[in-house]
Amino acid sequence: MAEMPPATVEVSAAVVHALLRDQRPDLAGLPLVRVANGWDNATFRLGDDLAVRLPRRGEAVPLILHEQRYLPGIASRSPVPVPVPVHAGRPTSDFPWPWSIVRWVPGTAAVDAGPADRAAAADGLAGFLKSLHVPADARVPVNPVRGVRLLNRSAVVLERLGDRERYPQAAELEALWAHACATPAWDGPAMMLHGDLHPANILLAADGSLAGVIDFGDVGAGDPAVDLAAGWLMFDAGARQRFIGAFGSPAGSSVDRDTWTRARGWALVLSTAMLSNSDDNSRMFSVGEFGVRQVLAG
């Protein structure tokens, strides 16, 4: 069974309360409820308007620091709310790493809505990505597994597809992957990236429109195709065409055909990562299954 990475430090509500009493006693009396325990971070809702994010393994520590550094700039451009840090927490004897208090972003995770109920978010998600994808400052880090050349991810993708029981369509997926890898690489400036844009990190309003985007731990610089892969992870074929069309007509689009081809390749990278490593997480497993179906659909 392939499972999520284990936590190095299990973060309890008692630990979070201790951190708040030590560093933000003005917030220590607010209700605290765990809302997520992801691959990298644990998240607790704090009162109505805030959340606490803490790394659950050492590899995630730089991700918290990247969020603290880059989210304020992203928020200033974004048409929808993002979890802007309001406090950069320090390590203590109770917890060994940096942590954050961020603005709570209300909404329903798209992973908990059916594909038909996500369609109304297509235009909003395109608008968010157009605001996000600006040339990155030279100091913005390059994530070694997101937004890089697709060939850099080929070994791990082909290894996953070697599990023929899990991927009965492996031969077709391998052909699609080869085509994506043969597409010219991104030759523009390194762009600001979310890096982990999938339905668990995309929030919907009651009417299905985009309410917000969360979990910027993989924020970095590189090929914007990695974020455009959300078109396959999030939408069925009809809504995906609407999403792609929101970037402009074929003659005047801000995204060229090669970038969309690489985006489909990135959708395969991300879908297989979730499908191969989430046997203990049904929500993420479902994202991987859906993404693989959509990659095959075109």
Instruction: Tell me the domain boundaries of the chain.
Output: 13-103, 108-297
**Model-level pTM?**
0.93
Q: Which fold has domain 108-297?
A: Aminoglycoside 3'-phosphotransferase; Chain: A, domain 2 (3.90.1200)
Q: Which residues contact 197 (CB under 8 A, 6 or more apart)?
A: 129, 213, 226, 227, 229, 230, 233
**Is 108-297 the same fold as 13-103?**
no
Query: Model confidence at 10, in pLDDT bands (50, 70, 90)?
Result: confident
pLDDT digits (tens, 9 = 90+) for 177-235: 999 999 999 999 999 999 999 999 999 999 999 999 999 989 999 999 999 999 999 99
pLDDT digits (tens, 9 = 90+) for 160-182: 999 999 999 999 999 999 999 99
As a whole number of angstroms, the distance between CA 7 and CA 9 comes to 5
**Per-position DSSP letters for 258-269, written without gaps between them:** HHHHHHHHHHHH
**Residue 183, token pair as written in the block:** 């597409």
Query: Model confidence at 5, in pLDDT bands (50, 70, 90)?
Result: low
| Helix (H/G/I), strand (E/B), else coil: 53 | strand
Burial of 27 (0-12, 13-18, 19+ CB in 10 A): middle
Is the pLDDT at 54 greater than 80, yes or no? yes
Under CATH, to which class is 13-103 assigned?
Answer: alpha beta
